[in-house]
Each structure stands twice: as C-alpha cells, then as structure tokens.
C-alpha cells in the first residue's frame, strides 16, 4: 500500500518539473515611482496557516528595472489583532532566505507532514504575528524566491550544485537526487555584492511595497517600522536602518523628491545572534570554544589559545581587518565593491580570520549554530524545503521559480568583496540609538557562530560609542531576569534607555526555533519599548535594569539530538552512512526523509508527534491563548526552569554547506 502510493507520487513528480508559467498575479505600477511595479496575490488560506483565518496575507514581488531585473519576494502576514505595527524580518547568510525564519522560527506557521507525499502547515503559538504585522523579505536578488530572470536548470542534491541548462541524469546517480527546476540566472553579477548595495535595493523595494499597500505604513513615530534581522543581519540591520535614516534626511532637505518617495520611520532595530563586527566579536570564538557557560571544552585549549593569538598577532586578523577598513575609507567609502584592490584586502582579512580564529572549532565535530549539537545537525527541521518545492505551493504564492534556501552566487558575490569585514557598524548603531531608535540585541547562549559573548561586547561598544548617559549607565546596569511567563525565566537582560542586550538561556543560533515564547516576549518588549525584563511600561530616559554585572548563569550541556537525514539538505543533515545509503538506493525516502525501511516511517511520525506534545512544541493547541503580550507582576522561583527542551528530532537546514564550499567562509544564517 505504501509502496503503491509512493510510486504514484514519483510518477506525478516526473511529469511536472517546472513551476507553472502563468501565476495569476495582480500587477500594479507603484503610485510613488512609475518605474517600480508590484506583482502580488492573496495566497489561499492554509498556505501558511495562521491563528485566525481573518489575518490578511499577500505574497508577491517588487520589480525594479536596472542593469539587471530585480524581483524581490515578500510575504506579508497581518497581525492576529489589528495593529499599526509593521515588522520586517531578514535572515542572513549572506544568501539565506527569510523563509527559514518564516517556516522554522518566528513565523506564523510551520510545515508538517500531512500524509504520504503531502505537507500542510499549522499555526505557531508564539509566531511574531501575535504582536505585529510581519513582512518577510528574501534578499538580496536571487535569494530564496527572489529572482532576476527565471532560468531552467538542474539541482544535484548530493552536492547542492545547480546547473543551467537542465542536464540529463548523470550515470549511476539515483534519480531522486538530481532534479530539474526553474531558478534565477545564477549570474553573480545580477545581485548585490555588498551590504550597502543590498541596503539601497531594499530601500527601493520598500518604496514599492509601502506605495502599493499604504494601509500597512505605520504613520506615527510612536508606532513606526521595526526591523529585526538575524546572523548576517548583524550587518544588514544597522546598515539598512542607517540608509533609511539617510534617505529620510535627503527627503527633508529637498535632495530627493518627497512626492515620489516614502519616509520609512524606523522605531526599533532588533539583532538576533548577529555577527556585527569581527574586530569586536572574533576574539570570542576561542573563548566560546573552551570557556563557555556549559562547561564544554569543545577543542584543545592550546589550540584555542593559538586561535586567540592569531587575532592579535602582528599581521593577524585584527591587523588585516584594520587594513581593510582603511582601504575602504580611502578608496571605496560607499562600499560599491568596485575597487579591486580594496576587495582583495578585505577578502584576505575575511579568509584569514575565518581560517585561523573561527575554524579551529571545526575540530569539535559540533554545529556552529549550537555547541550542544553534534554534526550532522538537523535542527530546525528541513521539512519546509519539500513543501516550498511543490507545484501546489508555487501556484499558491504565484512563484515562477523553485525554492532554494541558500544562494551560492550571493555567497560568492559577498565573499569576493570581503563584505564581511568592511564596515565597523558600531558607530551606525550608536547613531541610531542617539536618533531615538530602540536597539535590542537577543542572543541564544548555545550559538557559536555569532555567540552571545561577542554580542555582549558589541552592546557595550555601542553604549560607549553612543556616549552621554549610555556610556556610563548602560555598562553599570545589572542583568535582570527575563520573565517569560509566570513559571519561567528565559534569560537575563541589561537595559538602559533605548538599548538592551538579552542572553537567552538554552537557545542556539535561531533563537525563536529553540525558545519561541521567550524570543517572542523579548521581540515584543523591544518593539513596544517596555522593560525587556518584565514587559512593564517604563520611562526609557530613567529606567535601567538592576542585578549582577555579569551574566554568569551556568547549565549542563544538553544532550545532542540524533539527526534526521533530509534528501533536500544532504550536506548538512546526513551522516556518511546515510549518504552512502542514498547513493546506493538502499534506504527509502518518505516525505523527503531517509529511512532504512518504509516500516520505520509511521513509527517515526508517531514518535515525533508524541514528542511534540511534551517538548517545547510551537504548535498551537486549542487551549492556548493566541493573542497578547505577557507582563510579569512577580519573579518566578529560579528553580522552576522548565522551558529548555528542544527535543524534537531535529534538523538544521542552514547554510553550513556554504562554510565548506566557498573559501571556508563563515556564513551566518
């Protein structure tokens, strides 16, 4: 019976290899800029199941002409309660799609297996739509569902390589590991190659989106736009926000017309496990590897000391970054990425720092996104990769292209300019703070790649750079508990004025995937300008947290989950035996997951749902209250630390592959 269904599934699959050509989008010319068009549709209810069916959704593309065509994908989902708040979410990479956050992190829904060969979505209890309208953007061009020119090609799942034009199945390769589809052009020239260029593209994109959907433009500073970004978003966030502020200034002094542009009024900037500046954060890689709060000595301490020395040694990481920034300042101050000598110096700094300071940790055989997870790490689950590549889903959102989580052309483009090391973004963050914008940092304490020790150092550097009362009152504000709910303390926070730094307990890189409730409350409190510790209304010019000056809480290392091997993410999620099994066709693949026998499938599904009911599941149950923010009136007893589990069989769809493919780049998603 199973086998029969299985064959039917594959027969249908072989016929329709490419997304539908006609996609029923409505196209309008932007009311503010006649050169921009917006093509969109309302996806059918359930495409991304929300807590309430009344929540408005739009999927679409903002199309901008230029040397190459830019079609930036967005997914808008309105809040559960009517609200003026608009939050933009960006995943990192560079080259990673924000569908990762939407479907496996803070988004309104997650993907589940519905039946053999069938996926569906369920609403997530602590999706950030609980507190805000949400706008997920795939950027820069060619990432995720964003594209330049739809181009047919083939994807080799054993290597993650894409080929255009489509290829015949290579000899001896199993048919289910090599499939045709439609992608972007894969031309590295047709995308941004620096954060600065990406920032301008997204400013234009938002002009298009907000022009087309003025009802979602918050129109008072008190409400405003909120930008939250993860990982490489530690660069995107500050740079994008700074550019938006600059465009506002140019509008008000008459340098750019006000009748053909829209002011983007940023109220808060949130950075989730962000890599902001290696000059400040890189020294914490060796520290995190051996002196973390989980008592884990991940690598030989002598090796860690050498890694630390390669940061400070003459001609080492620090010197190379400093040279890169001097070259940028004198020869490519706008970060156009077009001065070859500057790009060469910055690329060199990046590859040196990565190889000598970051990568010694690779010896540990542990995930860079969670020091407690042994490799291969398959958390969060990759199930969404299958769902997003079904013809029904493509039709539902109107996509002319297939989905890929990581775009390697963008990785190459950013690597070629050394974008990673180019900018000291702390001054930008300090300027945003001094302009009255809230800046909130949220770091899971199990992450290695943009770890909380480095994040804390960034927060202190921002306060020092901002000067005034920030320079003295932020560092002297003590760490207060983050009261997630009546029974759980989710971490600790230092907060003064509009600046906060939160350490989230027992969370890896994608904080919301691990600790959805705590991540949501921190997000909501940053966004609304309340106490991150309690959710209470505060006078930000007077308020500071009180408590110990150091976030010293220690815990034992959580056990590593066993991996799930996903066909669509072999490089990240499968061990060697599993890879061999796929190559030799000796296992069975069901709903994109490798099993040794088809009889393992139903038991795997029932185990997963049993776990989902006991662990920190994110799926809405009928008894949950689906709206509202929590405000603490007392502090739960610290012994009741219950919310730590993330025991679902697990997975990570992230761009670890990227780490090995491109000059051992330290990719952050």
Ligand X SMILES: *[C@@H]1O[C@H](CO)[C@@H](O)[C@H](O)[C@H]1NC(C)=O
Determine the distance from the C-alpha atom of residue 569 to the mean position of all C-alpha atoms in its chain, rounded to a whole number: 17
Restricting to residues 527-546, which ones interact with ligand X according to CB under 6 A? 544, 546
Sole binder of ligand X in the list 5, 200, 287, 629 (CB under 6 A): 287
In the complex with ligand X, the residue whose CB is nearer, 180 or 451, is 180
Stretch that binds ligand X, among 112-120, 186-194, 502-510, 529-537 (CB under 6 A): 186-194
In the complex with ligand X, the residue whose CB is nearer, 91 or 416, is 416
Sole binder of ligand X in the list 231, 351, 394, 513 (CB under 6 A): 394
Tell me whether residue 666 is one of the annotated catalytic residues.
no
Give, to the nearest 10 degrees, the angle between helix 195-212 and helix 233-252: 60
267 part of the interface to ligand X, by CB under 6 A: no
Query: How many C-beta neighbours within 10 Å does residue 331 have?
Result: 13
- Cis status of the peptide bond prior to 94, with omega within 30 of 0: yes
Stretch that binds ligand X, among 204-212, 257-265, 370-378, 426-434 (CB under 6 A): 257-265
- Which of 566, 560, 523, 536 lies closest to 657, judged by CA? 566
**Helix-strand-coil split of the chain, %, nearest 5:** 35, 20, 45
Query: How many C-beta neighbours within 10 Å does residue 635 have?
Result: 12
189 part of the interface to ligand X, by CB under 6 A: yes
Q: How far apart are the first and last CA of the chain?
A: 40
Sole binder of ligand X in the list 161, 330, 642, 660 (CB under 6 A): 642
Q: Residue 665 is encoded by which pair of tokens?
A: 């780049």
Strands 151-156 and 178-183 come out as: antiparallel
Give yes or no for a contact between 365 and 357, defined as CB atoms under 8 angstroms apart.
no
475 part of the interface to ligand X, by CB under 6 A: yes
Stretch that binds ligand X, among 141-149, 477-485, 498-506, 573-581 (CB under 6 A): 477-485
Q: Which of 509, 510, 569, 616 is catalytic?
A: 509
Q: What b/e readout covers 501-511, taking b as 16+ CB neighbours within 10 angstroms?
A: bbbbbbbbbbb
In the complex with ligand X, the residue whose CB is nearer, 116 or 604, is 116
Tell me whether residue 447 is one of the annotated catalytic residues.
yes
13 part of the interface to ligand X, by CB under 6 A: yes
Sole binder of ligand X in the list 389, 528, 533, 591 (CB under 6 A): 389
348 part of the interface to ligand X, by CB under 6 A: no
d(CA 602, CA 608): 10
Question: What angle (nearest 5°) sits at the alpha carbon of residue 626, between those of residues 625 and 631?
Answer: 70
Please report, to the nearest 10 degrees, the dihedral formed by the alpha carbons of residues 599, 605, 608, 612 taken in order.
Answer: -160
Determine the distance from the C-alpha atom of residue 317 to the mean position of all C-alpha atoms in its chain, rounded to a whole number: 26
Q: 308 burial class (0-12, 13-18, 19+ CB within 10 angstroms)?
A: buried
Beta bridge partners, 480, equal 493
Sole binder of ligand X in the list 47, 180, 382, 651 (CB under 6 A): 180
In the complex with ligand X, the residue whose CB is nearer, 113 or 604, is 113
Residues with Cβ within 8 Å of 8's Cβ and at least 6 positions away in sequence, in order, are 117
Beta bridge partners, 122, equal 110
Rounded to a whole number of angstroms, the minimum distance from the CB of residue 596 to ligand X is 24
Sole binder of ligand X in the list 1, 34, 254, 554 (CB under 6 A): 34
Give yes or no for a contact between 497 and 437, defined as CB atoms under 8 angstroms apart.
no
- Which of 317, 262, 263, 261 lies closest to 285, judged by CA? 317
In the complex with ligand X, the residue whose CB is nearer, 94 or 596, is 94
d(CA 430, CA 114): 48
20 part of the interface to ligand X, by CB under 6 A: yes
Structural element, H or E, at residue 233: helix 233-252
Q: Which of 277, 419, 428, 447 is catalytic?
A: 447
Sole binder of ligand X in the list 102, 137, 179, 656 (CB under 6 A): 179
Sole binder of ligand X in the list 391, 431, 604, 605 (CB under 6 A): 391
Sole binder of ligand X in the list 3, 4, 11, 24 (CB under 6 A): 24
Rounded to a whole number of angstroms, the minimum distance from the CB of residue 336 to ligand X is 6
Residue with the CB atom nearest ligand X in the bound state? 643
* DSSP state string for 255-310: SS-STT-----EEEEEEES----HHHHTTHHHHHHHS-TT----S-HHHHHHHHHH
Stretch that binds ligand X, among 43-51, 142-150, 176-184, 227-235 (CB under 6 A): 176-184
Sole binder of ligand X in the list 187, 323, 359, 611 (CB under 6 A): 187
Rounded to a whole number of angstroms, the minimum distance from the CB of residue 511 to ligand X is 12
Rounded to a whole number of angstroms, the minimum distance from the CB of residue 169 to ligand X is 6
In the complex with ligand X, the residue whose CB is nearer, 487 or 562, is 487
Tell me whether residue 336 is one of the annotated catalytic residues.
no
Q: Residue 260 is encoded by which pair of tokens?
A: 């053909």
Three-state DSSP class for 650? strand
- Which of 372, 366, 328, 324 lies closest to 348, judged by CA? 324
In the complex with ligand X, the residue whose CB is nearer, 331 or 487, is 487
Site string for ligand X, 643-662 (x = CB under 6 A): x-------------------
Q: Residue 599 is encoded by which pair of tokens?
A: 């009889």
631 part of the interface to ligand X, by CB under 6 A: no
In the complex with ligand X, the residue whose CB is nearer, 141 or 354, is 141
d(CA 294, CA 296): 5
Q: Which of 97, 154, 231, 372 is catalytic?
A: 231
Restricting to residues 318-337, which ones interact with ligand X according to CB under 6 A? 336-337
485 part of the interface to ligand X, by CB under 6 A: yes
Site string for ligand X, 412-451 (x = CB under 6 A): ----xx----------------------------------
Residues with Cβ within 8 Å of 245's Cβ and at least 6 positions away in sequence, in order, are 266, 431, 432, 435, 437
Rounded to a whole number of angstroms, the minimum distance from the CB of residue 619 to ligand X is 13
d(CA 70, CA 437): 30
Stretch that binds ligand X, among 319-327, 387-395, 427-435, 570-578 (CB under 6 A): 387-395
Within 13 Å of residue 228, how many CA atoms lie on the same side as its CB? 34
Stretch that binds ligand X, among 108-116, 179-187, 311-319, 423-431 (CB under 6 A): 179-187
Sole binder of ligand X in the list 26, 35, 221, 580 (CB under 6 A): 35
- Which of 84, 406, 385, 416 lies closest to 218, judged by CA? 84
Site string for ligand X, 150-169 (x = CB under 6 A): ----xx----------x-xx
Residues involved in catalysis = 231, 447, 509
Interface residue list for ligand X (CB under 6 A): 13-14, 16-20, 22-24, 33-35, 154-155, 166, 168-169, 179-181, 187, 189, 193, 197, 214, 217, 219, 257, 259-260, 286-287, 290-291, 304-305, 308, 336-338, 343, 389, 391, 394-395, 402, 416-417, 473, 475-477, 484-488, 517-518, 544, 546, 549-550, 616, 642-643
């Amino acid at each position: 019976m199973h086998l029969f269904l299985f064959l039917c599934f594959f027969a249908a699959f072989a016929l329709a290899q490419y997304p539908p050509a006609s996609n029923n989008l409505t196209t309008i010319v932007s009311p503010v800029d006649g050169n921009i068009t917006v093509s969109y549709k309302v996806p059918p209810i359930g495409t991304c199941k929300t807590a309430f069916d009344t929540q408005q959704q739009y999927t679409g593309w903002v199309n901008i002409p230029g040397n190459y065509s830019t079609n930036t994908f967005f997914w808008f989902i309105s809040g559960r309660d009517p609200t003026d708040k608009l939050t933009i979410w960006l995943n990192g990479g560079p080259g990673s799609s924000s569908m990762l956050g939407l479907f496996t992190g803070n988004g309104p829904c997650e993907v589940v297996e519905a039946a053999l060969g069938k996926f569906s979505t369920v609403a997530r209890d602590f999706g950030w739509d609980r507190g805000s309208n949400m706008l997920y953007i795939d950027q820069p061009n060619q990432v995720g569902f964003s594209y330049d020119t739809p181009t047919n090609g083939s994807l080799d799942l054993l290597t993650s390589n894409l080929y255009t034009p489509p290829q015949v199945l290579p000899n001896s390769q199993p048919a289910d590991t090599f499939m045709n589809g439609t992608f972007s052009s894969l031309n590295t020239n047709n995308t941004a190659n620096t954060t600065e260029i990406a920032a301008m593209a997204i400013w234009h994109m938002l002009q298009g989106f907000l022009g087309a959907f003025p009802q979602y433009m918050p129109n008072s500073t008190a409400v405003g736009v909120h930008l939250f970004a993860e990982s490489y978003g530690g660069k995107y966030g500050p740079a994008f926000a700074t550019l938006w502020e600059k465009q506002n200034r140019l509008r008000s002094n008459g340098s750019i017309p006000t009748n053909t542009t829209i002011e983007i009024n940023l109220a808060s900037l949130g950075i989730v496990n962000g890599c902001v500046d290696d000059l400040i954060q890189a020294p914490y890689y060796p520290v995190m590897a051996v002196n973390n709060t989980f008592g884990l000595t991940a690598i030989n301490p002598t090796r860690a000391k050498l890694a630390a020395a390669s940061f400070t040694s003459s001609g080492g990481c620090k010197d190379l970054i400093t040279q890169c920034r001097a070259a940028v300042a004198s020869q490519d101050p706008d970060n156009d990425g077009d001065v070859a000598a500057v790009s060469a110096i910055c690329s060199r700094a990046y590859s040196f720092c990565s190889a000598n300071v970051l990568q010694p940790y690779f010896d540990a055989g542990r995930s860079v996104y969670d020091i407690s997870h042994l490799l291969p790490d398959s958390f969060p689950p990759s199930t969404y990769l299958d769902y997003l590549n079904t013809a029904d889903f493509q039709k539902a959102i109107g996509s002319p292209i297939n989905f890929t989580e990581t775009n390697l052309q963008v990785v190459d483009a950013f690597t070629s300019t050394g974008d990673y090391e180019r900018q000291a973004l702390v001054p930008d963050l300090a300027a945003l703070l001094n302009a009255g914008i809230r800046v909130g940092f949220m770091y899971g304490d199990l992450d290695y790649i943009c770890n909380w020790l480095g994040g804390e150092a960034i927060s202190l550097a921002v306060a020092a750079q901002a000067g005034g009362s920030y320079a003295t009152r932020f560092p002297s504000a003590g760490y207060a508990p983050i009261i997630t709910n009546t029974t759980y303390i989710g971490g600790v926070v230092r907060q003064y004025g509009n600046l906060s730094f939160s350490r989230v307990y027992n969370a890896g890189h994608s904080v919301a995937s691990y600790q959805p409730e705590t991540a949501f409350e921190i997000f909501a409190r940053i966004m609304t300008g309340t106490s991150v510790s309690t959710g209470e209304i505060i006078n930000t010019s007077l308020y500071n947290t009180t408590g110990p000056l150091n976030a010293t809480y220690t815990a034992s290392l959580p056990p590593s989950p066993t991996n799930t091997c996903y066909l669509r993410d072999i490089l990240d999620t499968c061990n060697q035996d599993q890879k061999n099994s796929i190559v030799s066709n000796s296992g069975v693949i069901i709903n994109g997951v490798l099993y040794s026998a088809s009889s393992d499938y139903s038991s795997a599904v029932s185990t997963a749902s049993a776990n989902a009911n006991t662990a920190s599941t994110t799926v809405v149950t009928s008894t949950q209250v689906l709206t509202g923010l929590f405000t603490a009136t007392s502090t739960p007893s610290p012994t009741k630390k219950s919310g730590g589990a993330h025991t679902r069989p697990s997975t990570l769809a992230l761009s670890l592959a990227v780490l090995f493919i491109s000059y051992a780049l330290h990719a952050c998603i």
